[in-house]
Amino acid sequence: MKYGIIGYSGRMGQAIEELFAEAGHQLVYKKDEKTTKEIEKPELIIDFSLKEAFAETVAIVKAKEVPLIIGTTGLEAADFAKLKELAAEVAVIQSFNFSIGINILSELIQKVNNYLDQDWDIEISETHHRFKKDKPSGTAIMLSELLDQNPEMHSKRLGSEFGEHEIDFASTGELLTLKHRAYSREAFSKGVLISAQKIINMEPGFYKFSQILK
Amino acid sequence: MKYGIIGYSGRMGQAIEELFAEAGHQLVYKKDEKTTKEIEKPELIIDFSLKEAFAETVAIVKAKEVPLIIGTTGLEAADFAKLKELAAEVAVIQSFNFSIGINILSELIQKVNNYLDQDWDIEISETHHRFKKDKPSGTAIMLSELLDQNPEMHSKRLGSEFGEHEIDFASTGELLTLKHRAYSREAFSKGVLISAQKIINMEPGFYKFSQILK
Amino acid sequence: MKYGIIGYSGRMGQAIEELFAEAGHQLVYKKDEKTTKEIEKPELIIDFSLKEAFAETVAIVKAKEVPLIIGTTGLEAADFAKLKELAAEVAVIQSFNFSIGINILSELIQKVNNYLDQDWDIEISETHHRFKKDKPSGTAIMLSELLDQNPEMHSKRLGSEFGEHEIDFASTGELLTLKHRAYSREAFSKGVLISAQKIINMEPGFYKFSQILK
Amino acid sequence: MKYGIIGYSGRMGQAIEELFAEAGHQLVYKKDEKTTKEIEKPELIIDFSLKEAFAETVAIVKAKEVPLIIGTTGLEAADFAKLKELAAEVAVIQSFNFSIGINILSELIQKVNNYLDQDWDIEISETHHRFKKDKPSGTAIMLSELLDQNPEMHSKRLGSEFGEHEIDFASTGELLTLKHRAYSREAFSKGVLISAQKIINMEPGFYKFSQILK
């Protein structure tokens, strides 16, 4: 397929370009804060840029009338309203986390949550590299919000760990542990690739990445 | 409630008696290979005895017309046919593993299995105490049969580990690990207690423990 | 051997009695808060009682002139002074933790500590059953004091976990993890048994359990 | 410092060049199978090439009279004899594994091995990416040879795992686990950097990397 990236010089943009190239796809439109380069009209646009560029992204997608995959962080209610408006015209897939594993983990946590009564202890742990300042991670908070209980959170900051999340459920008889580790940014770019393969045949509409996975 | 145990002098029988006593239930009928003691007619019967005693267990339950919870191992197709016949008259809950966690784990594995394509590596590991001879454990085999793939199996025999099962799913981007550890036989007796609390109000019929959990 | 226990009705006393019986040793003297029973003069005395009983323990050992193994918690500087005085006459082995594994772990941590410069991140985690109130555990504090750095501590309270301690050392290139899990009180009673087997042939003197292990 | 790399276009050569550049060192001599480029005489030479190039490496180092750090795999007894001959003239540091963590782990395993009697179960597990064909890994074999016992080995091949080794020691009372994970090739290039910093002030002689670490 022929695709475009907004925010192509960022880390996610680079990871997407690498993985898509391996899969034989062609980057025909690329844009970042400073430059725009269009070789050909893309069949879809992938946006991993900044919240500040959001209005421009929407305008570009509207003008080109192509589907949008958007993973830009920090979007708020007003932005989602605009995305849904755009989704009347083109297919839009949005997520703050395109990891397949984290999305499956979220499903699993909800399933376990439905089984358990109050007699289970639940704790969440996450480990990230030493340079990550925020504790707990956004993903850990997102996972905790899937639970009826309010679990204790633990944050380790160790070496170069790319990102590990663990959730423990324990009764007095047993312990169930669900754990996810991202090896690299490829954990996310793979989810974008899956989304891209599907979005080119999808009807206009607003979709979460978790819906695409099913 | 007033309940009975067939196989009450076995390890599971003892664990059930202990947990049920804590929960305020009264053991009014108990039977093992050598002795039978009936203080009062039980409201339900729990069988954790041996395959050899199966015909007698069915006869007793039929005579008393009370529900049956059965965890005896080694039952075969013919035995299940008899259980289902019995289930026309009384409620019957059967499982080879009454651990809540293992049953939830089975559900989770099936869910993950549905998400994954062939590009995921899957391996199963189990750890048990040094005295466990069979490798891999029956539970590990049961878990492996839930998967489309045929995963590699690893068996560790270490110290006094009561029982740990782990399943790893990995793509080139990420790793998802589901892990269960039983602390003690209470992992199983708790599932029996939950079954007992429900079975006294259930219609005749044959139920797997996993259906009770939902 | 013929041995005695002070504090024999406590949990550690019971665990010691069980393990020593399996090893063919004979409990000939037992004492707790309420009763004293002496069948024969013991060859050594094991004390797992309370700090409150310490003065009496010392008096008994002095009178009987037999070696002492003492694991009573809460002993302070003045108590140690008395133990060392007693050690002029009989062999005394003292420890707050008779687990072989925890003592080896302590040695390993000191060894790793000597190798590392300030560019390593160190974190300590411990997991215990839901009923353990104090955080972090005494053992976790003891382990942290072996390090030049002041590591971050994490305490999980989950189900029936008997006791798990983990220490992570990470640079930007790699992660080294040392982990200990006690399966049961046998982790401690085994260390007492090893001490008992050695103490009957030892010269008077004050010994830490870690010295006995070497 | 001004240094040279033989085998500079290989993966380890690249990783070394990157880390040394960050540390402010200057690559003045580089050689691989096809090309040699010498800007200036190096103060030391690092060799991560192939066994086939070994004779030439020795000749170059002899001619330049500079210290040598060598991590080339597959060296045999005759090669070590030549290295020791060379070590009469210059300092030589050799290892098949320049990871600080693996070297510390080796020390720890030897220490634990000295403490344990035959009543401990020992098992070794290693996990590497799906593309690693050999099982068990060379490092796992090397670690197993440090033990008196002959431990069971487990090899998992999962996703993109760079390299994880675990060793479990268990008695009926407790479990001690030592685990190492390399995040990336930096685990090894850091050890080369430490060696380089020391070797420029070292007397002629043959040294293992483990001696340098102490």
A27 and A91 share one domain:
yes
Sign of CA dihedral A188, A154, B176, A75: negative
Task: Give the per-residue pLDDT at C156.
Answer: 98
Asked if residue A8 belongs to a known ligand binding site, the reply is yes
Of B129, B152, B172, the CB nearest to D159: B172
Q: What is the pLDDT of residue C74?
A: 87
Query: B102-136: per-residue pLDDT in tens?
Result: 999 999 999 999 998 888 999 999 999 999 988 99
Predicted pLDDT at D117 = 82
Sign of the torsion formed by the C-alpha atoms of D10, D11, D16 and D22? positive
Q: What is the CATH number for A77?
A: 3.40.50.720
pLDDT digits (tens, 9 = 90+) for C56-94: 999 999 999 999 999 998 899 999 999 999 999 999 999
One domain, residues C104 and C93 = no
Contact A173 C158 (CB under 8 A): no
**pLDDT at residue C189, as a whole number:** 96
In this prediction, residue C101 carries a pLDDT of 96
Inter-chain contact C186–B161, Cβ cutoff 8 Å?
no
Among candidate residues A202, A192, A199, the one with its CA nearest the CA of residue A23:
A192
Phi, psi of C208 (to 5 degrees): -85, 155
User: What pLDDT is recorded for position C214?
Assistant: 81
- Between chain B and chain C, the number of residue pairs with CB atoms below 8 A apart is 10
- pLDDT at position A126: 98
Task: From the candidates C2, C132, C154, C198, give the one annotated as an active-site residue.
Answer: C132
Chains contacting chain B through 3 or more C-beta pairs under 8 A: A, C, D
Residues B54 and B86 in one domain: yes
Q: How far apart are the C-alpha atoms of B66 and B197, rounded to whole Å?
A: 14
The 10 Å Cβ neighbour count of residue B162 is: 17
Residues A110 and A88 in one domain: no
Give the nearest chain B residue to D126 (CA atoms). Answer: B154
Please enumerate, by residue number, every residue of B annotated as part of a binding site for (S)-2,3,4,5-tetrahydrodipicolinate: 129, 138-139
Report the chain A residue with the minimal C-alpha distance to residue B175.
Answer: A181
pLDDT tens for residues D58-98?
999 999 999 999 999 889 999 999 999 999 999 999 999 99
Nearest residue in B to A115, CA atom: B214
In angstroms, rounded to a whole number, what is the distance separating the alpha carbons of residues B41 and B18?
A: 20
CATH value at residue C138: 3.30.360.10
Nearest to A160 among D159, D161, D184 (CB): D184
Q: Say which amino acid occupies C210.
A: S
Mean pLDDT along residues A13-18:
96
Q: Answer yes or no: do C108 and D175 touch at CB < 8 A.
A: no
User: For residue D143, what are the β-bridge partners?
Assistant: none
Q: Which of B162, B183, B186, B188 to mutate to test the interface with C (most CBs of C within 10 A)?
A: B183
Find chain B residues with C-beta within 8 A of A175's C-beta: 101, 179-181, 183
**How far, CA to CA in Å, does B177 sit from each of B5, C102, D128?**
37, 28, 15
Task: Please say if the pLDDT value at position B74 is more than 90.
Answer: no
Residue of D176, D178, D192, D213 to mutate, interface with C, max C Cβ within 10 Å: D176
* Chain C positions in Cβ-Cβ contact with residue B184 (cut-off 8 Å): 160
A107 shares a domain with A169 = yes
In this prediction, residues B177-186 reach a mean pLDDT of: 97
Residue C112 has pLDDT above 90, yes or no: yes
* Percent of chain D clearing pLDDT 70 (strictly above): 100
Do D9 and D85 belong to one domain? yes
Q: State chain C's mean pLDDT as an integer.
A: 96
For the question of residue C132 being annotated catalytic, the response is: yes
One domain for residues B152 and B195: no
Residues C114 and C146 in one domain: yes
Can you give the pLDDT at residue C117?
Answer: 82
Interface test with A, best of B176, B183, B188, B197 (most A CBs within 10 A): B176
Contacts of D186 in chain A (CB under 8 A): 160
Tens digit of each residue's pLDDT (9 = 90 or more) over D24-64? 999 999 999 999 999 999 999 999 999 999 999 999 999 99
CB C137 within 8 A of CB C155: yes
The percentage of chain A sitting over the pLDDT mark of 90, rounded to a whole number, equals 94
B155 and B197 assigned to the same domain? no
For the residues A158-168, what does the mean pLDDT come to?
Answer: 97
- Distance (Å, whole) CA C26 – CA C24: 7
pLDDT given for residue D214 in this prediction: 81
Q: What is the pLDDT of residues C24-42, one digit of tens each?
A: 999 999 999 999 999 999 9
pLDDT tens for each residue of A69-92: 999 988 999 999 999 999 999 999
Cα–Cα distance for residue pair B132/D118, rounded to 1 Å = 18
Beta strands in chain D (DSSP E): 2-6, 26-31, 36-38, 44-47, 68-70, 91-94, 121-128, 152-157, 164-170, 174-182, 205-208
Name the E strands within D2-142.
2-6, 26-31, 36-38, 44-47, 68-70, 91-94, 121-128
**DSSP secondary structure code for residue B202 in this structure:** P
Cα–Cα–Cα angle for C27, C28, C31, rounded to 5 degrees: 90
The shortest CB-CB distance from D159 to any of B154, B161, B171 is to: B171
pLDDT number for residue C118: 80
pLDDT at B117: 82
Over the stretch A164-197, which tens digit does the pLDDT of each residue have?
Answer: 999 999 999 999 999 999 999 999 999 999 999 9
Cα of C117 to nearest chain A Cα, Å: 14
pLDDT at residue B8, rounded to an integer: 95
The model's pLDDT over A107-136, given as tens digits with 9 standing for 90+, comes to: 999 999 999 888 899 999 999 999 998 899
Domain shared by D104 and D126, yes or no: yes
The percentage of chain C sitting over the pLDDT mark of 70, rounded to a whole number, equals 100
Spatial distance between the Cα atoms of C79 and C81, rounded to a whole number of angstroms = 5
Q: Residue D74's pLDDT is what?
A: 87
Same structural domain for residues B67 and B48? yes
Distance, in Å, from the CA atom of B133 to the CA atom of C28, rounded to the nearest integer, reads: 38
pLDDT at C139: 93
Q: How many domains does chain A have?
A: 2
Average pLDDT value for residue range D164-175: 97
Cβ-based contacts of A188 with chain B (< 8 Å): 173
Q: Residue A67: what pLDDT?
A: 98
- Measured in degrees and rounded to the nearest 5, phi and psi for residue A107 equal -60, -45
Instruction: Give the range of the structural domain holding residue C134, as residue numbers without chain letter.
Output: 100-181
Residues in chain B with CB shorter than 8 Å from the CB of D130 are 121, 170, 172
First to last CA, chain B: 22
pLDDT at position D10 is 93
Q: Same structural domain for residues D78 and D7?
A: yes
Would the CB atoms of C172 and A154 count as touching at under 8 Å?
Answer: no
pLDDT at C195 over 90: yes
Q: Three-state SS string across B77-106, please? A: HHHHHHHHHHCCCCEEEECCCCCHHHHHHH
Q: Hey, CA dihedral for A23, A24, A30, A33, is it positive or negative?
A: positive
